Amino acid sequence: MHRKSDAGEENDDSRVSRRTFVAAAGTATATALAGCSSGGDGTPTPTSGGGGGGGDDSTPTPDPAAAQQGGTLVAGMQSGLDGRDPHLVQAASTLRVLENIYGKLVEIDQDLKPVGQLATDWTVSDDDLTWTFQLREGVMFHPPVSRELTAADVVYSFERLLDEETGSPWRSNFTPIANVSADGDYTVVFEFDEPYAPFLFKLSSGGYILPEGADDASDYDISDQPVGTGPFVFDENVAQARTNVTAFEDYYETDGDDNALPYLDEVEFQVIPEGQARLTNLQSGSIDWAVTVPPSQASQLEGNSSVTLSNIPGTFYDYLGHNTTQEPLDDVRLRQAISWAIDRESIVQGARFGYATPTQDPIPPSSVWKDLVSVEEPYSQDLEQAQSLVDESDYDGEELTIQVGQQYPAQVNIAEIIQQQLGEVGITATVQPTDFGTMISNLNEGAYDLTIVGWSGFVDPDDMMYLQFHSGETFNQSNYSNEEVDELLEQGRQAAGDREERAQYYDDAIDIISREVPYTFLEFNDELAAWGTSVKNFTHISTGTPRFKNVWLEQ
Amino acid sequence: MGYGAYVLKRVLLIVPILFGVSFISFGALELLPGGPVEAAFGTRANPELVEQLRQQYGLNRPFLVRYFDWLGDIVLNQDFGQTIRTERDVSTLLATSLPPTIWLAASGAFVSVVIGIPAGIVSAVNHYEPQDYLATFLAFLGLSIPNFFLGLVLILVFSLYVPIFPSSGFVSPLSDPAEGLKTLVLPAVTVGTAISAVVMRMMRSSLLEVFSEEYIRTARAKGLSRALVTNKHAVKNALIPTVTVVGLNFGYLLGGVVIVEQIFAIPGLGRLTLTAILTREYRVLQGSLLVIALLFALVNLATDLLYAYLDPRIKYD
């Protein structure tokens, strides 16, 4: 759950940017292994993939018989490896690589639902305080560890994540865990003091399993050499240039025909920071697959017969944040007026080149929660309504600043579009492009009026709402506080029961939030990726994390 | 003062320059809002985590203590410290980023000389004639086309439509000469084109100046051919200011042409520096600024020393 700026072009251009460090988590949170397998009986079955939400994703129905073994897939990345210890990194680009190397108990499928990966099954006690996970048997660690994964490794990994000394940015996902223990070789028990409903999703976010004793190992250095259980083994990294991973011979999964996975021999993640250069490389065939296609350039690929462009609704959204405790935006009528003045479609077109979906809430369009949680009275551009609310409010024409990360042209565009739309109802705003680091400290200190920021990585509604809208929480930079919302969010966090029941709390909370407008939600960016025609069986997932274990190359 | 003493003086001058650069770059970073820990962990950087990591990395010690500690390690052990985010050796990062940048800078400067000097000569010899106007026009065109645009056009034309050259990456010409030079062509032309205009204009104007001097008139009066006068008597003298420009350009290129490195995915110093700024990776940034300053100082020194070869009349005092 991270704030980042931009999922689109700028993200692409910003190289480091929030996406790299913050945004990243998005990827992690919703790890995307959609292609295959589910937490069930441990026999993975490739499922057909067509990307969570459509687009012209041409992922073919997997036909194991047709799959060809071997080959090196060259993937064009926006930035290089930012670290190798999965408990310590959050950069999206880095996690895209590490997700192919490390395993987790639970991963997120293309409907953003949790499914088993290293866990085959789990149960929750009646009081919702104990979660028991059954581990998949026969999972091997990469060399030099080369032994079977057991419950002790899982316990070790979570103790490591929870240890403050580790300094893991994922730690806050797991702090509610009171105790983690092994029960035999293949059973892990997590105990809680209070019910923790989002736990499954949190497991998929940063809960990477390392071999027990990794920190003290003498034959490898875990901060330098990743040792996981995933389909690919870390081979080599050349700073700023490339990362190579090779197929793990003892990987536990096979396809429907008992062929070993992964099909590929090797994946080379090549760093090509510039978006247009990535696309040119793709079109000329020097790379096979490209991540983070800049929306401004995506249209050049449409209709190109040698390249498949896939756009599906992503998990990254832009919002207009209001500082609700500072004049004049402490006046809810002014905040509502702003929400009525904004035309989301013009933002989608003007700033995102059409590759985005307008939204009234933070639930990703591809999420299973989308139908359950929605705003009762959505906003749409209504200048009369906006004007009368402005007139009614205490606003007397003072200038509002919109702070926006200067590295993110698309967000600056959004700010400019909003500035103009606010002008139509007599609200004067200035756009203030600001260095991202400075902006974040401004937001934390409440030194702003309005801001354009993006969030990503939300899978569970708790992720999307608790830390942002609960009084006094870490990311509540709007300084929003409403007792009823607090209570609903607490209930949602504790209700480990069925999805419908939890959804009710969030559905109620979002209605209040929408009325009181700490955020004006704008649009979800599309997740854009592109690959050459030789790439087969790739499943594009809205979180953007590529999983290459089921992919094969036509040679 | 003899030539040797002059060289020594110039070399020694580099020391206070580097000292100043190191102090300013180290100090200026203190003023940047947001620290490396915040940059690394973004909004997840809660105050406890920040404090803990600051202690872990010694960021909470007094400024001067940290400065001299850092400088001491560099001077005594050539150790530029560790990065915060990836816990990698900064010295290694600098060492791997330097060769691509030097290759790019050298090949770019080479292209600028190959284009700029002949064009400048043609221009000056045919002063105010069509050739001059054409060369001047092309020079300004080269100067006016932004690097990123020219780079992308070159990629489109020579990597996509007529796939002759690879569009990105870097292969050291030392390890694979053929492939290495091939990967250098497009980026070198991209940077070289822009600065060749400066070289061309400098060559043209200094040659024109030389042409107006008496010894040239004397040579012409003796009946020497125009080509001979130009090549034998004028060009060498006109080269002196041009060499300064090429040297300065080269120094500038060594700072890393961020845009070009970015477009052509060259893992060089410019990209390293940019990334370090965006991620507040202080050690990398401080190290790369220092290296860039050192390179610049060295190039300037070399330029000055080259004068002596070109013009023995230059006095060193």
Mean pLDDT throughout B243-265? Answer: 85
A67, pLDDT greater than 60: yes
Lowest mean pLDDT across A342-346, B46-50, B248-252:
B46-50
Mean pLDDT throughout B34-55? Answer: 66
Query: Residue A209: what pLDDT?
Result: 97
Contact B41 A271 (CB under 8 A): no
Instruction: Tell the residue number behind the tokens 């009946």, with chain if given.
Output: B223
Measure in Å the smallest separation between the Cα of A22 and chain B Cα atoms: 5
Query: Residue A64: what pLDDT?
Result: 60
Query: Residue B315: what pLDDT?
Result: 62
Query: Residue B37: what pLDDT?
Result: 67
Of A17-31, A386-400, B150-164, the range with the highest mean pLDDT is A386-400
Of A53-57, A295-299, A468-472, B241-245, the range with the highest mean pLDDT is A468-472
Which of B43, B168, B267 is nearest residue A22 as measured by Cβ atoms?
A: B43
Contact B42 A90 (CB under 8 A): yes
B305, pLDDT greater than 90: no
Residue A459 and residue A29 in contact, taking contact as beta carbons nearer than 8 Å: yes
A29, pLDDT greater than 60: no
Measure in Å the smallest separation between the Cα of A358 and chain B Cα atoms: 25
Lowest mean pLDDT across A61-65, A279-283, B262-266:
A61-65
pLDDT tens-digit readout, A287-305: 999 988 888 888 888 888 8
B59 touches chain A (CB under 8 A): no
Q: What is the SS3 string spanning A475-520? A: CCCCCCCCHHHHHHHHHHHHCCCCHHHHHHHHHHHHHHHHHHCCEE
Question: Which residue of B lies nearest to A407 if distances are taken between CA atoms?
Answer: B278
Residue A280 and residue A291: Cα distance in Å, rounded? Answer: 13
Query: Residue B46: what pLDDT?
Result: 64
A133, pLDDT greater than 70: yes
Residue B163 and residue B144: Cα distance in Å, rounded? Answer: 26
Mean pLDDT throughout B132-136? Answer: 89
Measure in Å the smallest separation between the Cα of B267 and chain A Cα atoms: 5
Query: Residue A116: what pLDDT?
Result: 95
Share the mean pLDDT of chain A. Answer: 85
B13 touches chain A (CB under 8 A): no
End-to-end, the C-alpha distance of chain B in Å comes to: 6
Alpha helices in chain B (DSSP H): 3-31, 36-41, 47-56, 63-77, 90-125, 130-144, 147-155, 177-211, 214-221, 226-228, 235-254, 258-263, 269-278, 282-310
A385, pLDDT greater than 70: yes
Residue in A165, A175, A221, A240 to test binding to B, most B beta-carbons within 10 Å: A240
Contact B93 A20 (CB under 8 A): no
Query: Residue A438: what pLDDT?
Result: 79
Listed in sequence order, the residues at least 6 apart from A457 whose beta carbon sits closer than 8 Å to its beta carbon are A1, A2, A23, A24, A25, A26, A27, A28, A29, A30, A205, A315, A463, A543
Measure in Å the smallest separation between the Cα of B147 and chain A Cα atoms: 13
Contact B48 A164 (CB under 8 A): yes
Q: Could you tell me the pLDDT band of residue A28, with boundaries at 50, 70 and 90?
A: very low
The 10 Å Cβ neighbour count of residue A331 is: 17
Of A13-17, A401-405, B216-220, B231-235, the range with the highest mean pLDDT is A401-405
The 10 Å Cβ neighbour count of residue A555 is: 8
pLDDT tens-digit readout, A429-441: 999 998 877 788 7
Measure in Å the smallest separation between the Cα of A47 and chain B Cα atoms: 35
Provide the residue count of chain B: 317
Q: Is A261 helix (H, G, I), strand (E, B) or coil?
A: coil
Question: Which residue of A lies nearest to B160 if distances are taken between CA atoms?
Answer: A284
* CA dihedral over B126, B128, B129, B132, signed as positive or negative: positive
Which of B53, B85, B166 is nearest residue A286 as measured by Cβ atoms?
A: B166
Which strand (E) or helix (H) includes residue A12? Answer: helix A9-14
A118, pLDDT greater than 80: yes
Measure in Å the smallest separation between the Cα of B249 and chain A Cα atoms: 24
Contact B86 A81 (CB under 8 A): yes
Residue B289 and residue B21 in contact, taking contact as beta carbons nearer than 8 Å: yes
Residue A377 and residue A390: Cα distance in Å, rounded? Answer: 19
B253, pLDDT greater than 60: yes
DSSP secondary structure string for all residues of B142-173: HHHS-HHHHHHHHHIIIIIIS--S-SS----T
Q: Could you tell me the pLDDT band of residue B100, with boundaries at 50, 70 and 90?
A: very high
Is the model's pTM score more than 0.80?
yes
Chain B residue numbers touching A16 (CB-CB < 8 A): 274-275, 278-279
Question: Which residue of A lies nearest to B94 if distances are taken between CA atoms?
Answer: A239
B152 touches chain A (CB under 8 A): yes
Measure in Å the smallest separation between the Cα of A476 and chain B Cα atoms: 11
Which residue has better confidence, B205 or B7? Answer: B205
Contact A280 B159 (CB under 8 A): yes
Mean pLDDT throughout A389-415? Answer: 92
Query: Residue A406: what pLDDT?
Result: 84
Instruction: Tell the residue number behind the tokens 């691509």, with chain if given.
Output: B100
Residue in B37, B170, B278 to test binding to A, most A beta-carbons within 10 Å: B278
How far are the Cα atoms of A27, A246, A307 from residue A35, in angstroms, in the given order? 16, 19, 20
Provide the residue count of chain A: 555
Instruction: Tell the residue number behind the tokens 């030194």, with chain if given.
Output: A447
Chain B residue numbers touching A271 (CB-CB < 8 A): 265, 267
Query: Residue A25: what pLDDT?
Result: 30
pLDDT tens-digit readout, B172-203: 899 899 999 999 999 999 999 888 888 999 99
Chain A residue numbers touching B49 (CB-CB < 8 A): 167, 169, 171
A129, pLDDT greater than 90: yes
Residue B59 and residue B45: Cα distance in Å, rounded? Answer: 15
Question: Which residue of A lies nearest to B148 if distances are taken between CA atoms?
Answer: A274
Long-range own/partner contacts, residues B54-58 (CB < 8 A, 24 or more apart): B56/A167, B57/B84
Residue A154 and residue A188 in contact, taking contact as beta carbons nearer than 8 Å: yes
B45 touches chain A (CB under 8 A): yes
Which residue has better confidence, A345 or B40? Answer: A345
Query: Residue B245: what pLDDT?
Result: 86
Query: Residue B38: what pLDDT?
Result: 66
From the list A453, A433, A437, the residue with the least C-alpha distance to A445 is A437
Task: Please name the residues between 158 and 177 in chain B that touch chain A, using a CB distance below 8 Å.
Answer: 159-160, 163, 166-170
Q: Could you tell me the pLDDT band of residue B10, with boundaries at 50, 70 and 90?
A: confident
Query: Residue A31: what pLDDT?
Result: 29
A35, pLDDT greater than 80: no
Lowest mean pLDDT across A111-120, B23-32, B107-116, B213-222:
B23-32
Share the mean pLDDT of chain B. Answer: 84
Mean pLDDT throughout A157-165? Answer: 94
Residue A105 and residue B152: Cα distance in Å, rounded? Answer: 44
Query: Residue A4: what pLDDT?
Result: 42
Residue A197 and residue A235 in contact, taking contact as beta carbons nearer than 8 Å: no
Size of interface A-B (CB pairs under 8 A): 145
Which strand (E) or helix (H) includes residue A445? Answer: helix A436-445
Contact A286 B41 (CB under 8 A): no
Local structure of residue A20 (DSSP, 8 states)? I
Measure in Å the smallest separation between the Cα of A530 and chain B Cα atoms: 17
Q: Could you tell me the pLDDT band of residue A227, with boundaries at 50, 70 and 90?
A: very high
Torsion of CA B141, B143, B145, B148, to 10 degrees: 160
* CA dihedral over A315, A319, A325, A331, signed as positive or negative: negative
Contact B265 A3 (CB under 8 A): no
B237 touches chain A (CB under 8 A): no
